[in-house]
Amino acid sequence: MPTPSILGSSWSISVALTHVERVEHRDHARSFYRALRGGDHPLAETPELTTEAARAVRLRARDGLLLALRDGYIRATGRLSTTAALFPAPRSDRSWRLHSSDPSLITTTEWRTGEFGFSRWDLTGPSWEYIQIEVPDFMVKAIWPDHVPEQAARPAPVDVMPQYTTPYLELMQAAISRFAITVTSQEKKEGLSAWFRTQQIEGEPVSKNLADAMATLVRLPAAQRGGAKRVLGPDFRRAG
């Protein structure tokens, strides 16, 4: 639950990251399933992802949150110490002591020069350390909003034929999942083509021409032209 802070209602940075990961997971999975099954099919609240895709989503969530903090779109507070420990401590212990009781704002410069530790949720610089870092929940939600339920899908006809597919379509869908391709994350054509050429369709290796064609078809037209889809405001979801 959010707690009061000098910036209003806030989350600990660990809770904020959990929220970002949940939103990134949901959006990535829904984009994939929508492309795979079409917009008229109802989707689960949080569709499942492959292990590799889930790992990529977690990394993107971490990088996106740190970028937002470093660029000042999210302003964090923490308890500051400028007092080094008297004696060298084991790595598992903190090397700073006498942290302030009251939180203070962490500047963007400190985020850029410091090193954030996800194991202890602290930010350490050359001559200081922040612990008990918190962020305003409304700032996090402004970039990663809570889920808004989709409109109910139209009921499908009673006698629906199985969805038509081919081995080529299935291989392209496998590539989309394998490389975690989304509207905002486009894999390079060369890498996709090389992967397609390692695959087989009905026991036959994929030719170079066919691999190049499929690598083109799984990417957006803007990506073919070397461009990227523009969005309003900072796009921290493409971190990395």
Q: How far is Cα of residue 205 from the mean position of the Cα atoms in its chain? A: 34
Nearest CA among 214, 216, 221, 224 for reference residue 170: 214
Sketch the domain layout of the chain as residue ranges: 3-143, 167-238
User: What is the pLDDT at residue 121?
Assistant: 93
Write the DSSP string, 108-128: HHHHHHSEEETTTTEEE-SS-
Nearest CA among 71, 127, 82, 137 for reference residue 104: 82
User: What is the pLDDT at residue 78?
Assistant: 95
Question: How many CB atoms are closer than 10 A to CB 154?
Answer: 10
User: What is the pLDDT at residue 8?
Assistant: 56
Which tokens in the block code for residue 72?
């000042």
Q: Strand pairing partners for 188?
A: none
pTM, entire model: 0.55
User: What is the pLDDT at residue 144?
Assistant: 92
**What are the mean pLDDT values of the chain's consecutive 10-residue runs (240 residues total)?**
59 94 82 61 60 85 94 94 76 75 94 93 94 94 77 51 78 87 86 92 90 88 58 54
